[in-house]
């Protein structure tokens, strides 16, 4: 399936509300988005402003997902990726991650790295990060609260421009703690 990415516009607010409330998002803060909250997000410009750009992921005449690129004004943007449940497991997340990586490094030549965080139990997204050249850089114990009160570990990944350009990955030095004092 050929995928395309179309920039979100304020006129898409009703489509955004339908998209966010018409599915479940098990690895986001709230698995179910309240329609009023989605309308408020759209009205506040949360999906398109000076620091944020969002894109619909489309294919086969349907909207498959949404990618939101955030913190575009600094050197390390982050993103939110949502794929509709019926399209998960088909490689769309990997395609979207590859696309957003190329888009950000091309459109914003001053950025050095792109970061993404997911829940520790989101095995599919963690595999996708690794397949797309992202490297695990952080593990946040009990760093991802859910709406039901459950707290999950969060895992942070990033890709460096220089690694992407060279086709390599630079693994962090994990054993850099100073020796304990005696």
pLDDT of residue 175: 85
- Rounded CA-CA distance 71/77 in Å is 5
pLDDT tens, residue by residue, 11-22: 999 999 999 999
- Rounded CA-CA distance 22/125 in Å is 21
Q: Other C-beta atoms within 10 Å of 64: how many?
A: 22
Query: Which residue pairs from 87-92 have beta carbons closer than 8 angstroms and sit at least 24 positions apart in sequence?
Result: 88/124, 89/124, 90/1, 92/3, 92/57, 92/59, 92/64, 92/65
Residue 85 Cα to chain centre, angstroms: 16
- Please tell me the pTM assigned to this model: 0.92
pLDDT tens, residue by residue, 105-144: 999 999 999 999 999 999 999 999 999 999 999 999 999 9
Beta strands in 25-180 (DSSP E): 53-59, 62-70, 78-83, 113-119, 135-145, 151-160
The torsion angle over the Cα atoms of residues 140, 146, 151 and 157, rounded to 10 degrees, is -20
**Domains, in order of start, for the chain:** 3-166 (3.40.630.30)
For the residues 92-106, what does the mean pLDDT come to? Answer: 97
The mean pLDDT of the chain is: 94
């Amino acid at each position: 399936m050929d995928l395309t990415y179309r920039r979100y516009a304020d006129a898409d607010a009703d489509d955004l509300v339908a998209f966010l409330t018409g599915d479940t998002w098990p690895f986001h803060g709230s698995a179910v988005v309240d329609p009023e909250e989605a309308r408020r997000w759209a009205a506040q410009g949360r999906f398109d402003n000076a620091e944020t750009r969002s894109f619909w992921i489309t294919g086969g005449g349907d909207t498959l997902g949404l990618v939101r690129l955030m913190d575009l004004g600094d050197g390390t943007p982050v993103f939110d990726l949502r794929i509709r449940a019926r399209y998960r497991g088909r490689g769309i997340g990997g395609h979207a991650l590859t696309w957003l990586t190329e888009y950000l490094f091309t459109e914003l030549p001053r950025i050095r790295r792109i970061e993404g965080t997911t829940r520790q139990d989101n095995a599919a997204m963690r595999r996708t990060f690794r397949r797309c050249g992202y490297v695990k850089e952080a593990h946040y114990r009990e760093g991802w609260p859910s709406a039901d009160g459950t707290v999950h570990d969060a895992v942070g990944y990033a890709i460096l421009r220089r690694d992407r350009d060279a086709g390599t990955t630079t693994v962090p030095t994990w054993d850099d703690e100073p020796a304990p004092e005696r």
